[in-house]
Amino acid sequence: MEQEEIKDNTSLNFQGAAENGSQSDNSRPLRAPECAFGTRQTQNDKHSLTESRFMSAPDIKYMKRALKLSLKGEGFVNPNPLVGAVIVKNGRIIGEGYHQQFGGPHAEINALKNCTENPEGATMYVTLEPCCHFGKTPPCCDALIAAKISKVVCALKDPNGTVAGKGFLKLQEAGIEVIFGVLENEAKKTNEIFIKYITTNQPFVLLKSAMTLDGKTAAVSGSSKWISSEKSRMYVQKLRHRFSSVMVGVNTVVKDDPELTARIKGGRNPLKVVIDGKLSIPMNAKILAGEKVVIFTSFNANEEKIKRLNGLGAKVIKLPNANGKISLKAVMIELGKQNIDSVLIEGGGILNSHALNEGVVDKLITFIAPKLIGGASAPTFFSGTGIEEIKDALKLKHTRIAKIGEDIIIESDFLN
């Protein structure tokens, strides 16, 4: 099987592809219809995308550039989407930009500001439909119209059903040609977190695990530092920066006493989420020494300890406790209400099994190290009672494989 190698700690960015190298990706074969055609929204048919159009090499080239630019916003724009924009005039890039931070100017505005010459008559390549409403910033459509952009080539229609297509329509009514669907699949991958959150009001959930070649996450003694390579661990730091929150169970807090910070230059620390039904978290846990901690516990948790935890800056949320377990579906709903668009699960076998059994996981990333541990009692990343029949096994799709340092990284989506 063909696979790629991640060099210089390059992030996969959830697309299974590094800048250099090949990949094994069953989800996005390079089929001609996906790579050669977009759709044109014409003024004669404002509410549908029906007229096919051949995508030129420049269309693909400039949209790839816009997608690459959008990734610079990772970790800084949540819960907004990642967006990049490139302005082209007479075959030359005259301006480009990306959405840099939540509440800041959108990619289109930054691209216009960075223009080296008058953008009148130019084409803008943008990875997401320009907005046409007032939010934290004015509508991008108005700026494009004012700048006399002649054509907008877009990868992805806004997945928010209440606004989808309205930006295109406004541009059309101003006489701007609109092309939609250029590298759409790549754009969906780039913004899978945003798409899940904006369409369900619940966070996108990635479960991360590291194991040996024989499927063990620790030795029989409990020793687990380190199973994965240094490059794999650095990649996890990037994931923590990218995701709005990182979740562990209280057993991981007791056993490993993690800090759960993003230890990369300029990295943003995620919200730390602890699942603790009995509120047994140690008061001196490192996770409580930092900022942004939320603990989910049961209604019968000790009120005095809740007050003490509140005094340390932790937020304690009580949820129904069924059979001794906190419902992770209820947790995800609650996190969505708090504008948390993504959750990185870094728990042990118990939390992992609860998450998988409840069906809250959207994607799985597994680091497999070229090591053997053995031992019937050595833990695995999916514990619990297990699934009795192979026909009932959890189904995965879109599996991608890459090499990172000494390890193999496997990324798969769930058939939710």
Say if residues 67 and 155 touch (Cβ distance below 8 Å): yes
Three-state secondary structure string covering 333-352: HHHHHCCCCEEEECCCHHHH
Say if residues 284 and 308 touch (Cβ distance below 8 Å): no
3 state SS of 3: coil
**CB burial of residue 188 (10 Å; 0-12, 13-18, 19+):** middle
Say if residues 150 and 188 touch (Cβ distance below 8 Å): no
108 is catalytic: yes
Give the angle 133-139-143 at the CA atoms, nearest 5°: 155
Q: Give residue 224's region: left, alpha or beta (phi > 0; psi -120 to 50).
A: alpha
Active-site residue, selected from the candidate residues 74, 96, 108, 129: 108
Size of the chain in residues? 416
Say if residues 10 and 19 touch (Cβ distance below 8 Å): yes
Tokens of 289: 């020494």
Kindly write down the DSSP assignment for every residue of 302-340, as one continuous string: -HHHHHHHHHTT-EEEEE-EETTEE-HHHHHHHHHHTT-
- Distance (Å, rounded) from C-alpha 203 to C-alpha 248? 16
User: CA dihedral in degrees (213, 214, 216, 219; nearest 10)?
Assistant: -100
Say if residues 229 and 222 touch (Cβ distance below 8 Å): no
User: Could you give the residue numbers annotated as active site?
Assistant: 108
